[in-house]
Amino acid sequence: DQQVKQNSPSLSVQEGRISILNCDYTNSMFDYFLWYKKYPAEGPTFLISISSIKDKNEDGRFTVFLNKSAKHLSLHIVPSQPGDSAVYFCAARGAQKLVFGQGTRLTINP
């Protein structure tokens, strides 16, 4: 069973516009949610997190929104830059483990 799902395998956005990446989860016991970014031939890099007791966390161009009733979180990147082109993984913490989604490949077009 996939407890964390990223339904869009890819997303293409024009430079300067907003990128919105989505993630759904099924386990209501998750207490932390995270986004990681991965470039080819590198390991994932932690980007931003949010506690389950909050609904928004912002860090520069990156904002994560959590909707607990819908079991949904999203990552907003604004404005999008070419260096943001990467695979983004959503992850959730539960029972002292991180469960990762399948990833969404974001491409920023000039």
Partner 1 sequence: DAGVIQSPRHEVTEMGQEVTLRCKPISGHDYLFWYRQTMMRGLELLIYFNNNVPIDDSGMPEDRFSAKMPNASFSTLKIQPSEPRDSAVYFCASSSPDRFHEQYFGPGTRLTVT
Check residue 103 for interaction with partner 1 (CB under 8 A).
yes
The one among 66, 101, 104, 106 contacting partner 1 by CB under 8 A: 101
Which CB sits closer to partner 1, 79 or 105? 105
Contact 13, 62 (CB under 8 A): no
Q: Which is nearer to partner 1, 40 or 110 (by Cβ)?
A: 40
The residues, ordered by sequence, that sit 6+ positions from 27 with a Cβ below 8 Å of its Cβ are 3, 92, 94, 99
Is 11 among the residues that bind partner 1 (CB under 8 A)? no
Strand (E) positions, the chain?
A: 4-5, 10-14, 19-25, 32-38, 45-51, 56-59, 62-67, 72-77, 86-94, 97-100, 104-109
Residues numbered 13-72 forming contacts with partner 1, rule: CB under 8 A:
32, 34, 36, 41-46, 49
Residue 89 beta carbon to partner 1: minimum distance, rounded to whole angstroms: 7
Residue 3 contacts partner 1 per CB under 8 A:
no
